[in-house]
Amino acid sequence: MNMSSRLRKFTLTAHITVSVGWLGAVLAYLSLAVVIKTSEDISLVRAAYLALEPITSYVLVPLAIASLITGIVISLGTTWGLFRHYWVIFKLILTVFSIIILLAFTQSLTRMVSIAVDSTTSINELREMGAGISHAVGALVILLIIMILSVYKPKGMTRYGWQKQQKSRKGSSQ
C-alpha cells in the first residue's frame, strides 16, 4: 500500500513530532532524576518525585505509544515497509522493548511517589529509591539509536523484502 504524498507527509510529520517529543520527555525525566540524586533540599526532591508521575503517565507513555503507531502506519504506507528492511524491524523491536520497560517502570514509579510524599521518609531513603536515572539514560540511548537508524537507513533487506522487490520488478517489466 502506498500512501498519497499528502497523507505520507502528514503521517511522517506526526511521527517525527511525537518521536522528538518522546525524546524531550525522556530528557525532562532525566533532569528530575538527577535532581533527586544530587539535591540537598528535601522539598525539591519530593517535588521532583511528584513531577515524575505526570510526566510519565501523561507525556512519556502517550508519546511512546503514538510513536509506535505512527511508525507502523508510515512504514506500511511507504516503500520501506514494515518487514522489508532490517533497520525498520530493529527500530520496531527497540520501540516495543522501550514501551514494555516504560510500562513496567510506571508501576514502580507509582510506589516511589507514594513513599516520597510520606513526610517521615528521609532524603537518603528518597535518593536510595532511585528515580530511574539508569532507565532514563537507557531510554535516551535507545531513542538515539532509533534516530540514527532513521537517518542513515543501513542497507540490508530481509528475505521478505527481497522477494517483494523481485515481484515488483517482474511486474513492472511485463
Mean pLDDT value of segment 42-69:
96
Length of the chain: 174
Give the contacts of 18 (CB within 8 A, at least 6 positions apart). Answer: 63, 66, 67, 70
The pLDDT of 28-42, averaged and rounded, is 95
pLDDT tens digits for range 94-129:
999 999 999 999 989 999 999 999 999 999 999 988
Q: Which of 88, 64, 83, 73 is nearest to 154 (CA)?
A: 88
3-state secondary structure of 157: strand
Question: Which three-class secondary structure state does DSSP give residue 156?
Answer: coil
Q: What Å distances lie between residue 115 and 29, 30, 37, 102, CA to CA?
A: 18, 20, 16, 20
Q: Diameter of the chain by CA atoms?
A: 78
Q: Tell me: the pLDDT tens digits for 125-161?
A: 999 887 778 989 999 999 999 999 999 999 999 999 8
Q: Is the pLDDT of residue 63 over 80?
A: yes
Spatial separation of the C-alpha atoms in residues 115 and 78, rounded to whole Å: 48
Asked whether 27 and 62 are in contact (CB, 8 A), the reply is: no
C-alpha cell at 99: 514501551
